[in-house]
A and B are shown apart, each in its own frame.
Chain A
């Protein structure tokens, strides 16, 4: 009986507040917009019995999805989200790897402190960290003042409200997610492997390329997914740092919902976003699985 309660309580909670909402999103994505409260039709009318249910299903259609393909705003937004997420993941990797590598090479007594310094921003408000760049990147911001003071530029650079600012924002906020799994992989790396590689005739650079990189592959993959997946659906960063030309699907969904109050289209956008996300999520799970199996042996 206790076991039943133990399973049932969290199960029921997640069913009602996680699974059922998704089914509702899916259902509304098949409905039509209406000037009503709630602003969509049909609504399920259980009072009219079986006829009501039949009528309800008859009114559902794929119209909103067809609409998404005809209006190029949407598929452009999906493509540009994918592009922004992919490019910023690459930059995060290029910046994160040397940091993780240096942490793994540092003295034992330094590592907990370095680790804490990496994790600390994670505990700080995401919104504030994004906001902190607004003051730096704006036309009269800190960066432009600094560059003009050094004489490198004479006219302020326009960075805020462009895609560049979005890249900077994503790299900055998700950097710890890249560093931590790579560091975890590099820390486990046995230093004698590199000695063995050099003993067998590798230079330092080839040893790094042939031993360190392959052995930290799992960490690299995990880190990339941990950045790519949330970046794809990101809303706060494009909304605060991006400009009107920055197209990201999270922002489109938000605007569709709050500004246009078109709930069925917003739901359809969400359903497609989920379908796109399933691929990297499944790949990520498989990578984690592989790692667990490797560690289990």
Chain B
């Protein structure tokens, strides 16, 4: 897979394209970005993910030159960008609203940036044609933005921002305005174009699925700080905090007390129950409060107590959410803790094994759960 081959962030000798060095941004008393340091490498597809107000958009607008840095430094290709206005940066941005100029045709929109550079006309025309081909918009070159569909507008915005062949392309919620089906198709198109052009993409999104699909690395942000930066698989499988585990996908969190045992920890969560065991390389010391995070799809649900599972708990089915291919069972444990377990619906609905109020066993392996600091 490409992801295993392309990992400049693990390479000590690689020089980053973008460096945030202790960057702080304040609006009056409000701290939007809090002493943030982060490297982004050339040809990465880097996603900034977080809830609204977490500072992801501010971070991107600082890269574009639309916001000034209060403290610290942003370097692009080693050059300090602090006093460089947006029109002097080799950075282009695709706006959330697309910001297509309504009075210009599609090809005039794409040519806009090239004309500002004062390139000769044949060269501009050639480049515009190339961009139209890349985004499959040849048929619409002479139309105005209101004469094309939302999906096509999105592609025009992309073509326009790529026309100047920027070192870095910023995408602000690029697919936010599209409906779900179109969004999924466009995600792959974006990845394809990113690969073809070799441009570094920084994307801002609040849609975790989108970030996971397109990005080479995802930065999960909260309150002006980056909580974790990792590949999509690592973010999902090895979150570094309850916040990240909870933000990405569905998760069961069991609060308890961890004591070191073997190559991991034993977690006691309720009196009179056997401790749960989880293998981990996280170091919480010998004894600490903790949160155990387990994805619902990694929890098996059975009528009889399984003999070989590392962790088993008993509970009662309170609710069943039928999703077609899957069912999610909400199970209440003896101590009142709610847990979700997901199972594939391999049999027809009427022959379902479990129903409401059934007593069931939940089980998972010792590598399924992650021990996190509480």
Q: When A and B assemble into the complex, do they touch directly, with CB atoms less than 8 Å apart?
A: no
* Chain A interface residues toward B at CB < 8 A: none
* Chain B interface residues toward A at CB < 8 A: none
